[in-house]
């Protein structure tokens, strides 16, 4: 896209008009023959300001460009079309026109990872793409608080995806090209070219994984709906399912980090993750979140939680990793923002802290809910746990 004036560049990049003039005078921003600018120039103007705010002087950047060791021509490539410009509409204007609460609309800026916006700041063009969905959700009666939670969970999950993606790209593509003898300008041009090739496949991959997770989750919800319908029709007694929460942790993880460094600890965690996930999925469980040296899991059935946990601890040992220890409790939980909360969660975490390497501890409620012929339970007795007011009856469980 072309035909932008200096004023257009300033408005779309979110910089002062005088700053664009300064960039032109420094020869780091060059208009076309007709005096117009391109979308790539908008990206460059925004980037130069960001670099200056980071303490990198424009004069040094201009000199590096002049010497050929640095170039930002790659910002003209198609892969960078995802860098959105600013629109001419502010949050306040869009809020009034679309009848969306202003506080809710401002959450969009937080969700996409940028600094908090003021009501009269212009919305980004990509932010405007969320407006129709938010408006439709409100029209169908979805509470603003629920929409805010959805936005924040989307933002946090996608931030983790992009950070992982960027780290892989930097370590596996950028650094090897520099090591091969390319300078920064050559490396950026080459990797931008590869980015044009990668980006459509990456977009489809993210969407495919997202849809697969939707299938899993929607099936769970549909199962509950069908069970409720059958119960109302008197065709089947609804199953009473009490969920179970499990925490699994690698023993000695902190000592390992101190001895071998953060990278070795991260490698250990990456080896543990697929072992945990695959075992949980076999028992219809799911990973709620990874906690550096451990993981929190949710199961719909107590016996599934115990079976999966025992297999996970064994699999970690078989893989040659440091021994794991685990804690399980069953009871009501509160689901909010993609996470689970409540006394059951807190108690399971405290029990895990009490367990010895290789040991799985469960509460009395869990022990009463499992088949004693299937699992061996050794009473530990009443144990005082940090942050728990009353002693808790615990059992060590084995298969």
- Per DSSP, the residues of 209-229 read HHHHHHHHHHHHHHHHHHHHH
In a domain, 238, yes or no: no
Instruction: Please give the residue range of the domain that contains residue 200.
Output: 86-218
In a domain, 230, yes or no: no
- Report the distance separating Cα 129 and Cα 87, nearest Å: 11
Final residue of a structural domain among 184, 218, 252:
218
Residues 259 and 179 in one domain: no
Residues 108 and 198 in one domain: yes
What is the H or E stretch that residue 8 is in?
helix 6-13
Residues 71 and 105 in one domain: no
In a domain, 224, yes or no: no
Residues 313 and 350 in one domain: yes
Instruction: Tell me the CATH number at 23.
Output: 1.10.1660.10
**pLDDT band of 230, cuts 50, 70, 90:** confident
Residue 380's pLDDT is 92
Residue 1's pLDDT is 47
Is residue 15 predicted with pLDDT exceeding 80?
yes
Q: What is the mean pLDDT of residues 35-48?
A: 92
Q: Enumerate the β-bridge partners of residue 336.
A: 339
What is the overall mean pLDDT for the chain? 87
Residue 332's pLDDT is 82
φ, ψ at 325 (rounded to 5°): -140, 155
Residues 271 and 347 in one domain: yes
Residues 185 and 328 in one domain: no
Residues 113 and 210 in one domain: yes
Q: Enumerate the β-bridge partners of residue 326.
A: 248, 360
Residues 58 and 95 in one domain: no
Q: What is the mean pLDDT of residues 102-106?
A: 96
Residues 92 and 25 in one domain: no
Is residue 236 predicted with pLDDT exceeding 60?
no
Instruction: Tell me the CATH number at 268.
Output: 3.30.70.1230
Note the pLDDT tens digit of each residue in 358-378: 999 999 999 998 988 899 999
Q: Enumerate the β-bridge partners of residue 396.
A: 361, 378
Residues 119 and 207 in one domain: yes
In a domain, 232, yes or no: no
In a domain, 284, yes or no: yes
pTM value is 0.64
Note the pLDDT tens digit of each residue in 276-310: 888 999 998 999 988 867 899 999 999 999 999 99
Cβ(364)–Cβ(393) under 8 Å? yes
In a domain, 119, yes or no: yes
**pLDDT band of 254, cuts 50, 70, 90:** low
Final residue of a structural domain among 218, 252, 277:
218
Final residue of a structural domain among 201, 218, 235:
218
- Report the distance separating Cα 240 and Cα 175, nearest Å: 55
In a domain, 285, yes or no: yes
Note the pLDDT tens digit of each residue in 75-97: 888 888 888 888 989 999 999 99
Count of domains in the chain?
Answer: 3
Residue 141 backbone class (left: φ over 0; alpha: ψ -120 to 50; beta: rest): left
Residue 92's pLDDT is 97
Q: What is the mean pLDDT of residues 224-231?
A: 70
Note the pLDDT tens digit of each residue in 138-188: 999 999 999 999 999 999 889 989 999 999 999 999 999 999 999 888 888
**pLDDT band of 241, cuts 50, 70, 90:** low
Residue 79's pLDDT is 85
Residues 64 and 26 in one domain: yes
For residues 123, 125, 127 and 130, what is the CA-based torsion angle, rounded to 10 degrees?
Answer: 130
Residues 380 and 284 in one domain: yes
Sign of CA pseudo-dihedral 127, 131, 137, 142: positive
What proportion of the chain, given as a percentage, has pLDDT over 90? 53
In a domain, 223, yes or no: no
Window from 5-14, 128-137, 302-311 with minimum mean pLDDT: 5-14
């Amino acid at each position: 896209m072309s035909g932008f004036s200096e004023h257009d560049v300033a408005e779309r990049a979110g910089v002062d008009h005088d700053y664009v003039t300064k960039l032109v005078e420094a020869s780091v921003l060059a208009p076309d023959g007709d005096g117009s600018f391109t979308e790539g120039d908008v990206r460059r103007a925004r980037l130069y300001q960001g670099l200056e705010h980071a303490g990198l002087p424009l004069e040094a950047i201009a000199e590096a460009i002049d010497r050929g060791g640095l170039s930002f021509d790659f910002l003209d490539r198609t892969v960078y079309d995802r860098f959105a410009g600013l629109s001419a509409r502010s949050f306040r204007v869009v809020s009034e026109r679309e009848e969306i609460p202003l506080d809710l609309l401002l959450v969009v800026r937080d969700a996409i990872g940028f600094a908090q916006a003021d009501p009269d700041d212009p919305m980004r063009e990509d932010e405007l793409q969320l407006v129709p969905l938010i408006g439709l959700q409100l029209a169908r009666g979805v509470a603003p608080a629920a929409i805010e939670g959805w936005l924040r969970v989307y933002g946090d999950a996608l931030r983790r995806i992009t950070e992982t993606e960027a780290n892989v790209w930097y370590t596996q593509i950028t650094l090897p090209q520099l090591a091969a003898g390319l300078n920064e300008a050559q490396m950026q041009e080459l990797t931008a070219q590869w980015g044009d090739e990668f980006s459509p496949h990456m977009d489809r991959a993210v969407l495919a994984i997202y849809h697969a997770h939707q299938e899993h989750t929607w099936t769970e919800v549909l199962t509950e709906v069908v069970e409720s319908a059958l119960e109302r029709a008197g065709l089947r007694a609804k199953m009473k399912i009490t969920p179970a929460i499990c925490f699994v942790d690698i023993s000695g993880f902190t000592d390992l980090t101190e001895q071998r460094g953060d990278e070795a600890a991260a490698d250990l965690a990456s080896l543990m993750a697929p072992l945990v996930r695959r075992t949980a999925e076999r028992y219809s469980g799911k990973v709620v979140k990874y906690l550096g040296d451990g993981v929190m899991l949710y199961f719909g059935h107590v016996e599934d939680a115990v079976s999966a946990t025992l297999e996970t601890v064994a699999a970690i040992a078989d893989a040659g990793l440091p021994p794991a220890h685990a804690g399980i409790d069953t009871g009501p939980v509160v689901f909010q923002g993609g996470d689970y909360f409540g006394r059951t969660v807190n108690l399971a975490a405290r029990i895990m802290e009490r367990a010895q390497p290789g040991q799985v501890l469960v509460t009395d409620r869990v022990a009463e809910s499992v088949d004693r012929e299937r699992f061996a339970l050794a009473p530990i007795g009443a144990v005082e746990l940090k942050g728990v007011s009353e002693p808790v009856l615990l059992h060590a469980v084995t298969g």
